[in-house]
Amino acid sequence: MYVSHLTLHGYRSYDTLEVPLEAGVTSFVGRNGQGKTNIVEAVDYLSRLTSHRVASDTPLVKQGAEQAVIRAAVVKEGREALIEVEINPGRSNRARVNRSPLPRSRDLVGIVRTVLFSPEDLALVKGEPTDRRRFLDDLMVLRTPRMAGVKADYERVLRQRNALLKNAAADRRRGGDYFDSTLSVWNEQLVRLGAELTAFRAALVDDLVPLLAQAYAAVAKDGGRNEATLAYQPSVPAPSVEPVEPVEDVGAAGTGDAGGRPTREALERAFLGELDRRRPEEVQRGITLVGPHRDELGLAVGTLPVKGYASHGESWSFALAMRLASYDLLRADGDDPILILDDVFAELDTDRRERLAELVAGAEQVLVTAAVDADVPAALRGARVEVRRAEQP
Q: Residue 171: phi, psi to the nearest 5?
A: -65, -35
Give the three-state DSSP class for 12: coil
Closest by CA to 65, choosing from 105, 13, 101, 5, is 13
Q: Is the pLDDT of residue 244 over 50?
A: no
Of 87-101, 253-267, 313-327, which gets the smallest average pLDDT? 253-267
pLDDT classification of 347: cutoffs 50, 70, 90:
confident
| Closest by CA position to 364, among listed 135, 144, 98, 113 | 113
User: Which band of pLDDT confidence, cut at 50, 70 and 90, is reported for residue 241?
Assistant: low
Residue range 256-307, pLDDT digits in tens: 344 577 889 999 999 999 999 999 999 989 999 999 999 999 999 999 999 8
Q: For 16, list phi and psi in degrees, rounded to 5.
A: -145, 140
Q: Structure pTM?
A: 0.89
Looking at the predicted structure, is the pLDDT value of residue 159 above 80?
A: yes
What distance, in Å, lies between the first and last C-alpha atoms of the chain? 36
Q: Do 70 and 63 form a contact (C-beta atoms < 8 A)? A: no
Q: What is the DSSP string of 133-178?
A: HHHHHHHHHHHSTTHHHHHHHHHHHHHHHHHHHHTHHHHHHT-TTH
Radius of gyration of the chain (CA): 22
Structural element, H or E, at residue 297: strand 296-301
Q: Which residue has the higher pLDDT, 250 or 220?
A: 220
Q: How far apart are CA 23 and CA 17, in angstroms?
A: 20
Mean pLDDT, rounded, for 338-367: 93
Identify the pLDDT of residue 253.
40
Pair 14, 38: CB distance under 8 Å: yes
pLDDT in tens, 353-382: 999 999 999 999 999 999 999 999 999 989
What is the structure's pLDDT at 243?
Answer: 44
